[in-house]
């Protein structure tokens, strides 16, 4: 079975990332592509420690705000997404197409369709096939992601 990877750099916009994830999930269900279309999301490592630091702080602030007034509580909720968006780095989406040899036409159709759809169009798509030199590196990255 041939593996092909599509790489997308979605930037730091969480809405675009969720839109892409939702579109891939809907395709998997609608076309029964459970094992044939898989994806993983990689967030920059510089973002991970910042997010870990940002999450406990609002939790600590929420009980204090709840004891004083309800207005500061709503403000702390409003501040939380801003602090998270500041700490978010670029997001990479790895999509693996895993079709057997007799499904070459289906694989080609998905290779043409996915990069042409809206959330993926502006994400600078890159296609890496098994025969290309950077494939082993992409395979390792995909396997290490959750």
Predicted confidence at residue 114, as pLDDT, reads 96
95 and 131 part of one domain: yes
The C-alpha atoms of residue 125 and residue 116 are separated, in whole angstroms, by 9
Predicted confidence at residue 5, as pLDDT, reads 97
68 and 95 part of one domain: no
118 and 130 part of one domain: yes
Q: Are 7 and 94 in contact (CB under 8 A)?
A: yes
61 and 30 part of one domain: no
Number of folded domains in the chain?
A: 2
Q: Are 120 and 114 in contact (CB under 8 A)?
A: yes
What is the model's pTM?
Answer: 0.71
Domain harbouring 110, CATH code? 3.30.70.100
The C-alpha atoms of residue 93 and residue 43 are separated, in whole angstroms, by 9
83 and 98 part of one domain: no
- The torsion region of residue 40 among left (phi > 0), alpha (psi -120 to 50) and beta comes to beta
Predicted confidence at residue 45, as pLDDT, reads 60
Q: pLDDT tens, 44-74?
A: 765 444 444 444 444 444 444 444 444 444 4
Parent domain of 108: 2-44+89-144
36 and 62 part of one domain: no
35 and 95 part of one domain: yes
59 and 80 part of one domain: yes
63 and 26 part of one domain: no
Q: Which residue has the higher pLDDT, 20 or 69?
A: 20
């Amino acid at each position: 079975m041939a593996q092909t990877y599509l790489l997308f750099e979605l930037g730091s916009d969480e809405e675009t990332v969720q839109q892409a994830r939702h579109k891939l999930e809907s395709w998997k269900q609608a076309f029964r592509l459970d094992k044939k279309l898989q994806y993983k999301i990689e967030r920059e490592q510089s973002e991970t420690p910042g997010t870990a630091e940002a999450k406990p702080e609002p939790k600590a602030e929420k009980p204090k705000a709840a004891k004083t007034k309800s207005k500061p509580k709503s403000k702390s909720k409003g501040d939380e997404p801003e602090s998270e968006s500041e700490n978010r780095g670029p997001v990479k989406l790895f999509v693996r197409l895993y079709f057997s040899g007799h499904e070459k036409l289906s694989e080609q159709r998905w290779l043409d369709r996915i990069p042409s759809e809206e959330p993926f169009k502006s994400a600078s798509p890159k296609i890496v096939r098994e025969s290309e030199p950077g494939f082993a590196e992409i395979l390792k990255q995909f396997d290490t992601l959750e």
